[in-house]
């Protein structure tokens, strides 16, 4: 499961009460909510926006150290503030993510003004998610003037890397792709939440009916355009507290990810390896498409990630999955499976730049050096995984990156060194299951501006059978 697929937790709680609790802990100037006793002598009045600015500033202070992924920092902070209500949590998270999306431009704006720059970043993030008049109440006079000035600026004249907030190296790389402006803008917009039904347990039409007849209706559940198993929801539904989630009938999974599993085109009773299974997002759909028959190895070098997959495997009811922690070099199990698998999926560790809608911090956490290291790892995993493919079997290489150097270029280099593999038309294979999906091929390239999914890449290669 990538970060994008993680449902966010939240607790129903009254906004003013939760914010007041925060204020009581000394995190912000406090005044009781309406209807409560007035502020005592020497106390500053409670203002929700003032509390919120300090909350967002505190989270940003940690996120912008870049030591940990933003979602990890945020979920830790939210856990440390269990009394915050759903709306409060949503506002803090959305403001932090808005700052990460627009960081370069906001930093330029924050250069003017007085006081700590992180506070001004927090104000800009909140200006994007809060009603202007509510936010205004939490601002100092000089901040009010500064924000009005920032709001009056015309950003159209700014260089794209500043306007759309990209590091220069990434702006340069993206400018070589088709329609870079449309792609960059789409990557900078928040994504909806995609669910996937477990085809072993329930039909999509039936699940849509259930969702539309309960409290989930407010998230406007709609079928995804390409994946036959997907349901798209608006907003941040608390999916992991729904009974259908607990019963293993639905999972959170971007539509692009669902299509990748379709590309594996697994069949009953086959032996399949998900070589980089992580928290099992794709394993689950592949296992269900095998109708829980055959054997599906879920490999990963990270025991922690595979451990996160286990409860998902248990919920799904699948009995054909065999999770295995492998050694990145010389693993004996991998050796024993040499030439045996009908399908091997390599969902390779990558820059994740196709998922910027959900993980905007990646554009600041990745850099050319990390990319170079990833490319080496990808080539190494591809070569190792390829050895497990049986003659006539298929190797599927996938990333959630949009950079050709992690994608097409890796595949071309692999094919040049491994002439026993030939490239199949991924677009055609995907269209077998996803009938509305018309792509050019032979590679599968999904983009947020064209398909409404995260950016995904995949290639399907077949190993030739020895001639008799």
Tokens representing 324? 């295995």
Look-up: residue for tokens 């999926």?
345
Binding residues (CB under 6 A) for ligand SAM: these are: 1-2, 257, 275-282, 299-302, 305, 326, 328, 347, 349, 377, 381
Nearest to 3, CA basis, from 256, 252, 284: 252
Contact of 207 with 231, CB cutoff 8 Å: yes
Beta carbon nearer to ligand SAM, 138 or 281: 281
Tokens representing 86? 């759903």
Which SS3 state, helix, strand or coil, does residue 171 take? helix
Beta carbon nearer to ligand SAM, 211 or 334: 334
Q: Where are the alpha helices (DSSP H) in 102-164?
A: 103-110, 117-129, 132-136, 141-152, 160-163
Beta carbon nearer to ligand SAM, 280 or 323: 280
Contact of 252 with 195, CB cutoff 8 Å: yes
Beta carbon nearer to ligand SAM, 327 or 432: 327
**CA–CA separation, 366 and 360 (whole Å):** 11
Contact of 96 with 56, CB cutoff 8 Å: yes
Hey, which residues does 394 pair with through a beta bridge?
343, 462
Report how far apart the first and last C-alpha atoms of the chain are (Å, whole number).
43
Q: Name the E strands within 319-410.
A: 321-325, 341-347, 389-399
The answer to whether the annotation marks 331 as part of a ligand binding site is no
- In the complex, least distance from residue 279 CB atom to ligand SAM, rounded to whole angstroms: 5
Beta carbon nearer to ligand SAM, 29 or 404: 404
Is position 350 annotated as part of the catalytic site?
A: no
Catalytic residue among 276, 388, 400, 434: 400
- In the complex, least distance from residue 12 CB atom to ligand SAM, rounded to whole angstroms: 29
- In the complex, least distance from residue 169 CB atom to ligand SAM, rounded to whole angstroms: 22
- In the complex, least distance from residue 308 CB atom to ligand SAM, rounded to whole angstroms: 9
- In the complex, least distance from residue 155 CB atom to ligand SAM, rounded to whole angstroms: 34
The answer to whether the annotation marks 154 as part of a ligand binding site is no
Look-up: residue for tokens 């950016």?
455
The answer to whether the annotation marks 194 as part of a ligand binding site is no
Q: Where are the alpha helices (DSSP H) in 346-465?
A: 362-365, 368-386, 408-417, 426-433, 448-451
Question: Residue ranges for the binding site for S-adenosyl-L-methionine?
Answer: 300, 327, 347
Q: Which sequence positions are flagged as catalytic? A: 400
């Amino acid at each position: 499961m990538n970060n994008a697929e993680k449902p966010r937790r939240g607790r129903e709680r009254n906004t003013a009460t939760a914010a007041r609790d925060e204020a009581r802990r000394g995190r912000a100037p406090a005044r009781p909510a309406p209807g409560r006793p007035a502020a005592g002598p020497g106390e500053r009045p409670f203002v929700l926006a003032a509390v919120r600015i300090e909350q967002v500033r505190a989270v940003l202070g940690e996120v912008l150290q870049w030591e940990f992924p933003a979602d990890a920092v945020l979920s830790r902070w939210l856990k440390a503030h269990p009394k915050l209500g759903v709306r409060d949590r949503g506002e803090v998270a959305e403001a932090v993510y808005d700052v990460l999306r627009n960081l370069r431009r906001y930093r330029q704006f924050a250069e003017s003004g007085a006081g700590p720059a992180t506070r001004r970043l927090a104000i800009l993030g909140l200006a994007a998610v809060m009603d202007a008049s509510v936010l205004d109440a939490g601002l100092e006079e000089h901040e009010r003037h500064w924000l009005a000035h920032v709001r009056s600026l015309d950003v159209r004249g700014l260089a794209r890397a500043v306007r759309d907030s990209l590091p220069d190296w990434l702006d340069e790389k993206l400018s070589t792709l088709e329609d870079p402006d449309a792609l960059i803008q789409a990557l900078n917009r928040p994504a909806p939440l995609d669910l996937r039904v477990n085809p072993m347990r329930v039909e999509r039409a039936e699940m849509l009916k259930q969702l539309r007849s309960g409290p989930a209706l407010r998230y406007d559940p709609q079928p995804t355009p390409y994946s036959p198993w997907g349901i798209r929801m608006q907003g941040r539904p608390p999916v992991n507290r729904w009974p259908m989630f607990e019963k293993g009938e639905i999972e959170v999974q971007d539509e692009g990810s669902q299509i990748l599993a379709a590309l594996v085109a697994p069949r009953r009773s086959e032996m399949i390896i998900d070589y980089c299974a992580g928290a099992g997002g794709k394993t689950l759909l592949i296992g269900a498409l095998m109708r829980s028959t055959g054997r599906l190895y879920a490999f990963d070098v990270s025991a922690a990630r595979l451990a996160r997959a286990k409860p998902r495997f248990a919920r799904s009811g699948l009995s054909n999955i065999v999770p295995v922690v492998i050694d990145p070099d010389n693993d004996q199990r991998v050796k024993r499976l040499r030439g045996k698998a009908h399908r091997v999926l390599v969902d390779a560790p990558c820059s994740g730049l196709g998922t910027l809608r959900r993980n905007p911090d990646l554009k600041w956490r990745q850099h050319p050096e990390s990319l170079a290291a990833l490319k080496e790892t990808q080539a190494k995993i591809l070569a190792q995984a390829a050895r497990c493919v049986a003659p006539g079997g298929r190797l599927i290489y996938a990333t959630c990156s949009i950079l050709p150097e992690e994608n097409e270029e890796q595949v071309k280099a692999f094919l040049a060194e491994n002439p026993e593999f030939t490239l199949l038309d991924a677009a055609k294979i995907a269209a077998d299951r996803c009938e509305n999906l018309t792509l050019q091929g032979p590679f599968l390239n999904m983009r947020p501006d064209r398909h409404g999914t995260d950016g995904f890449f995949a290639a399907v290669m077949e190993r030739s059978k020895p001639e008799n």
